Structure 1
Amino acid sequence: MDSSLYFDIPCVILCGGKSSRMGEDKALLPFSNHNTLSQYQYDRLKLHFKKIYISSKTDKFDFDKNLILDKGEIYSPIVALETIFKTLENEQRIFIITVDTPFVKIETIKKIIDLSINYDIVIPEAEKTHNLCGVFNKSCLSLIKEMLNNNIHKVNYLIKNSKTKILQCDDENEFLNLNDKTQYNLAKSFIS
């Protein structure tokens, strides 16, 4: 990992999901040499961004962090994106990543950010498209508000109706998503 890479945009780690397939809050699971997966992601990424935040429904974290709290009962990344853009109102572009993708390479993040100047959204694709790992531009906010007014919570809808660029990547393992215990144990074996 290149520790010299630094990005002049903020990063927000999404930690507000229900973790229903995991059976417990994955943001709070121990990972690597950290008490929690969320602290691992926060510490890993804070070296590379001008500011880093955690987006969540509640402050469930036991480490020093910048927090963006989602209001309301609905568990939705669209609600989170609206809250993030309202909170960071002076930011044009924001790098968004989920807490459960701890292997995304800093070099890949650099490619995504470098592509993001002329697009609303830039996300990676290897074997699958990764909708919540990428740069989202404030230009998406009006569509996000419209989606929420119409009770549309699918990130794919936002991506399809925005000026989106897909970055082709070679390694799907980089985007391993820790959704259940099997994937979590696999990730722990990678990191050890």
Structure 2
Amino acid sequence: MKKKPNAIILAGGKSTRFGSDKAFYIPSNETKTWVELLVAKLIPVSSLIYISIRQEQLQKMHTLFSENKQVCLVTDLNEVADYGPLGGLYSLSRHLNDESCLIVPVDVPHIQTADLKLLCRNKNVYVETAKHKHYLIAHLPSFQTEISSCIQNHEHRVTSLLKKLHTTPLFFENEDAFTNQNTKIPPNE
């Protein structure tokens, strides 16, 4: 049986445009937060799920996942706090072995496990749809060396990492599944 990749949820963003922490947002038709919903979708396709967070999220995340042995919380390192998602990935890279990882931001609530399974079957790819390149939804090979190079060169964009890895797009039809939510979803949607 083929080994499942690890997964990384990027949940440490400040959610400024959203107005509150996206990781802990509960849509009106749900009882679970976005981060809990995403973990549930990743469990069938991944061995271990790392959640990249800010220090101030730690207690609430611990409350949500302390019983789940498949989830590991990793706080962002202070020295890369202003690097955005790349800083979160760098902070996590210290915990990874030489293995591939699925990467998903917490603000894609419509992604499906079937989409994640397709990503698992393809290596060194990011999601592309007709309208967008979704660089933060990817299945990457081991990237410790390349991300260290990005940080040393003060490169702040995830695209710098993808370029160093020679990552290619994987096309998906369903645009809505990968749309990130930068504004709160109105009630009853």
What range is the shorter-chain TM-score in?
Answer: 0.7 to 0.9
Tell whether 2:150 aligns with 1:147.
Answer: yes
Tell whether 2:85 aligns with 1:77.
Answer: yes
Q: Which runs of 5+ in 2 are unaligned?
A: 66-70
Q: Which runs of 5+ in 1 are unaligned?
A: 1-5
Report the secondary structure of 1:66's partner residue: strand
Moved over 4 A (4+): none
Match of 1:27 in 2: 23
Pairs within 5 Å for 1:58-73: 58=55, 59=58, 60-61=60-61, 62-64=63-65, 65-72=71-78, 73=81
Match of 2:140 in 1: 136
CA distance in 1, matches of 2:126, 2:87: 19
List per-residue Cα deviations over 1:58-86 (Å, max 9, x = no partner).
21323124211111132521121122221
Tell whether 2:115 aligns with 1:115.
Answer: no
CA distance in 2, matches of 1:66, 1:92: 16
CA distance in 2, matches of 1:41, 1:108: 12
RMSD: 2.0
TM-score, scaled to structure 1 = 0.82
Letter aligned with residue 116 of structure 2: I
TM-score, scaled to structure 2 = 0.83
Q: Give the alignment partner of residue 43 of structure 2, picking from 43, 46, 49.
A: 46
Pairs within 5 Å for 1:84-123: 84-88=92-96, 90-116=97-123, 121-123=124-126
Identity score, percent: 27
Alignment size in residue pairs? 175
Q: 1:135: Cα distance to partner?
A: 0.9
Q: 1:107: Cα distance to partner?
A: 2.2
